[in-house]
Amino acid sequence: MRIRGRLLLSFVLAALVPLGALGLLLRASLIERIDAEHYRQLSTRVESARRRVDEQLAADRRAVDALCEHDAVVDGLLLDLATGRYGPATEQEMVRVLPPLMRGRRFDALFLLDARSGSGRGRILGSGHYPDQVGGRAELVDAIARVGEGAFVDTVRVRDGAGTRDQQELLTGCVVARDGAAVAVVAGRVLGPEYADELLGDVSPVRLAMDSEMPAGAEPITTFADATGENALALYATIDDAPLEREIALLRERSAYLAGAALLLAVLLALGFTLTLSRPLAELEEATRRVASGDLATEMRVRRKDEVGSAMEAFNAMTKELAVTRRKLLRAERIAAWREVARRIAHEIKNPLQPIQMEIETMQKLHARKHPSFDEEFPAGAKMILEEVRRLDDMVTEFSRFARLPRPKATEVDLREVVSHVEGLGGDEVEVVQPAEAVRVRADREQLTQVLLNLVQNGVDAARARHGESGGRVRLTLEPDPEGALLVVEDNGPGIPEADRLKVFEPYFTTKAKGTGLGLAIVHRIVGDHGGAIDVDEGIDGGAAFVIVLPASGPPAAIEASLTDDAVPLNRPSEPG
Ligand SMILES: Nc1ncnc2c1ncn2[C@@H]1O[C@H](COP(=O)(O)OP(=O)(O)OP(=O)(O)O)[C@@H](O)[C@H]1O
Ligand SMILES: [Mg+2]
């Protein structure tokens, strides 16, 4: 994975892990709060329902007690019973007055019962909820005696405009006795869904219900017993979880959107940061590549003041230092090469000087002794001296040609033209292989012609040395190359032994009787001055092959500079920066 990808991943992870943890925590605590609020509502409702039930019981109690203590209807009934005037007229009166009395006290049932002991005990003297019941019986008087101040559940038959029905009611009662007469007042309130609904209204998710059995998970509010003390009905609360679940689902959805947005933001931020970090690295990589391929003029634009900017500045300083060092090295190499040349010239000059000196000394001696053979010796001696001097002169001429080799004057050259020109100058054994399209490089046409001529001449010499005047072959191949051009001169001569393959380029290395040994030294220098490279390899049939690669860009600026007189002098400290 590239550094950009790795940085991006680490930044996104670094941003997301704490963000995700925080988000999860926040969400969990929010859900917990919503949950707690939901159940707090339930317990508040349960409390208030309990209070309402107690209040209602107390209110019913007060209303019933008020009827027993002092009420015109009850008092009239007691009087009729005590005086024996109770009869159909009283019953008719009850049918008329009791329903409005019941509704006025907000009861759902109202009994007036005969509470005297004896056979009439329990007779219905009046009924607000079922007026025609008068004369019937209800087993409620003993129940009131048993329950006292409390309330109890019983089934009450009711008749109204909608018909007759039985309903469970919460009954409260009292007994009032006066002058031998006794009347029980029993008031009732319907227990059931309506009762539960009325307690709270229906604005909250909490629901009250009443049943003989309470379902699991419900919150009990109160239980109502029948007259024997047995639990008959339970009032309880349940809570509707649907709104809670809807709220939680909405929260989950929103937190998912939020997480997505956070991820996007993290990726964008990380991308921005990564780019600002990795772009200069990529530039540095590219610049390093250019320097590695020899372009020491490369300079990075420093736009930042941080560590990356410092690295770029250090890179620029390094490149400058490298360029200076390379120039020094080139100069040093050239000085070393010239020393070697001077050593060889001295050796070459010393060789003919010795016979010349000996010849002159011999002739001096003969002349001093007036020797008769002096006249005979002189022409031969003088000829030998002249020959040696001519050889010295030739050598010096050749050398100065090599020494004065000018810097290449590069122009755009199609190498096919140079190759064809050399083919024309070469012998019959020379063949040329070259492409149909132009192979262009920047080069000094004259110098390249000289390179190819020297190589072809060497090839012809070598091929003839092995095969005589016929049978020798020299092939000159030109090809385009990724760098520029590839030139190969090969022959079917004896080849060059491995040990001599470097030496052949040194000045004055020759194996030929009349060779100067400067041909390949000149070739090597011209190719080097063009920024190219030359190598020796195996050619046709074990012969030699000289392989030259020339860059399309031509002589590098640094090499041209190294040859000028104002090139950086050796040992001068490089300028800072
Ligand atoms: N194609 C070749 N096959 C075999 N040996 C070669 C070939 N080319 C060069 N040499 C060897 O390298 C030596 C140096 O060659 P270079 O061209 O420098 O000088 P030269 O050919 O000897 O002299 P000059 O070039 O002045 O005629 C040659 O003497 C020869 O021994
Ligand atoms: Mg030669």
Contacting residues for 244 by C-beta, under 8 A, at least 6 apart:
34, 35, 38, 205
Topology of domain 296-407, CATH: Helix Hairpins (1.10.287)
Task: Tell me, in angstroms, the distance from the centre of ligand 1 to residue 458's CA.
Answer: 5
pLDDT digits (tens, 9 = 90+) for 160-176: 888 999 998 999 999 99
Region 31-40: mean pLDDT is: 86
CA dihedral 549→551→554→556, nearest 10 degrees, is -100
Give pLDDT, residue 417: 96
What's the one-letter identity of residue 174? C
Q: Residue 218 has what DSSP assignment? A: P
- Element containing residue 351 per DSSP (H, E): helix 307-368
Task: Tell me, in angstroms, the distance from the centre of ligand 1 to residue 162's CA.
Answer: 137
Which residues have CB less than 5 Å away from ligand 2 (the ion)? 458, 519
Give pLDDT, residue 558: 56
- Is the model more confident about 345 or about 145? 145
Asked whether the CA dihedral 468, 470, 471, 473 is positive or negative, the reply is: positive
Residue 297 CB neighbour total at 10 angstroms: 13
Q: What is the spatial distance between Cα 408 and Cα 22, in angstroms, rounded to a whole number? A: 72
Ligand 1 contact, 493 CB (< 6 A): yes
Contacting residues for 526 by C-beta, under 8 A, at least 6 apart:
405, 408, 444, 447, 448, 450, 451
Binning pLDDT at 50, 70 and 90, where does residue 204 land?
low
pLDDT digits (tens, 9 = 90+) for 231-267: 878 888 777 778 788 888 998 899 889 888 888 888 8
Q: Of 326, 317, 310, which Cα lies nearest the Cα of 575?
A: 317
Give pLDDT, residue 207: 64
Region 212-224: mean pLDDT is: 79
Longest dimension (CA), the chain: 212
Region 432-455: mean pLDDT is: 95
Judged against a pLDDT cut of 60, whether residue 408 lies above it is answered with yes
Instruction: Please state the atom number of ligand 1 nearest to the C-alpha of residue 522.
Output: 18
Give pLDDT, residue 200: 67
- Is the model more confident about 493 or about 556? 493
Give pLDDT, residue 152: 94
pLDDT digits (tens, 9 = 90+) for 289-336: 999 888 888 999 988 888 888 999 999 999 999 999 999 998 888 788
Region 506-521: mean pLDDT is: 87
- CATH number for the domain running over 411-554: 3.30.565.10
Region 471-478: mean pLDDT is: 95
Binning pLDDT at 50, 70 and 90, where does residue 209 land?
low
Give pLDDT, residue 202: 58
**Residue in 504, 522, 535, 537 to alter for ligand 1 test, most ligand atoms within 8 A of Cβ:** 504
Most confident region among 191-205, 296-310, 338-352, 470-484 by mean pLDDT: 470-484
Judged against a pLDDT cut of 90, whether residue 78 lies above it is answered with yes
Binning pLDDT at 50, 70 and 90, where does residue 571 land?
very low
pLDDT digits (tens, 9 = 90+) for 516-540: 888 999 999 899 999 999 999 999 9
Judged against a pLDDT cut of 70, whether residue 565 lies above it is answered with no
**Residue in 348, 460, 476, 510 to alter for ligand 1 test, most ligand atoms within 8 A of Cβ:** 510
Q: Residue 540 has what DSSP assignment? A: G
Most confident region among 2-6, 507-511, 541-545 by mean pLDDT: 541-545
Ligand 1 contact, 518 CB (< 6 A): yes
Region 543-571: mean pLDDT is: 67
Task: Tell me, in angstroms, the distance from the centre of ligand 1 to residue 463's CA.
Answer: 12
Nearest residue (by CA) to ligand 1, atom 1, is 459
Region 37-47: mean pLDDT is: 83
Give pLDDT, residue 403: 75
Judged against a pLDDT cut of 50, whether residue 135 lies above it is answered with yes
Ligand 1 contact, 512 CB (< 6 A): yes
Binning pLDDT at 50, 70 and 90, where does residue 156 land?
very high
- Is the model more confident about 407 or about 538? 538
| Share of residues in the chain with pLDDT > 70 (%) | 94
- Is the model more confident about 250 or about 426? 250
Binning pLDDT at 50, 70 and 90, where does residue 221 land?
confident
Give pLDDT, residue 337: 73
Q: What is the spatial distance between Cα 136 and Cα 143, in angstroms, rounded to a whole number? A: 17
Contacting residues for 399 by C-beta, under 8 A, at least 6 apart:
345, 518
pLDDT digits (tens, 9 = 90+) for 360-387: 999 999 999 988 888 888 999 999 999 9
Binning pLDDT at 50, 70 and 90, where does residue 208 land?
low
Asked whether the CA dihedral 64, 68, 72, 75 is positive or negative, the reply is: positive
Residue 179 backbone zone (phi > 0: left; psi -120 to 50: alpha; other: beta) = left
Binning pLDDT at 50, 70 and 90, where does residue 570 land?
very low
Region 87-99: mean pLDDT is: 92
Q: Give the CATH class of 47-242.
A: alpha beta
Binning pLDDT at 50, 70 and 90, where does residue 201 land?
low
Give pLDDT, residue 421: 93
Nearest residue (by CA) to ligand 1, atom 19, is 517
**Residue in 475, 512, 536 to alter for ligand 1 test, most ligand atoms within 8 A of Cβ:** 512
Binning pLDDT at 50, 70 and 90, where does residue 206 land?
low
Ligand 1 contact, 544 CB (< 6 A): yes
pLDDT digits (tens, 9 = 90+) for 381-406: 999 999 989 988 888 887 787 777 78
pLDDT digits (tens, 9 = 90+) for 240-250: 778 788 888 99
Give pLDDT, residue 7: 80
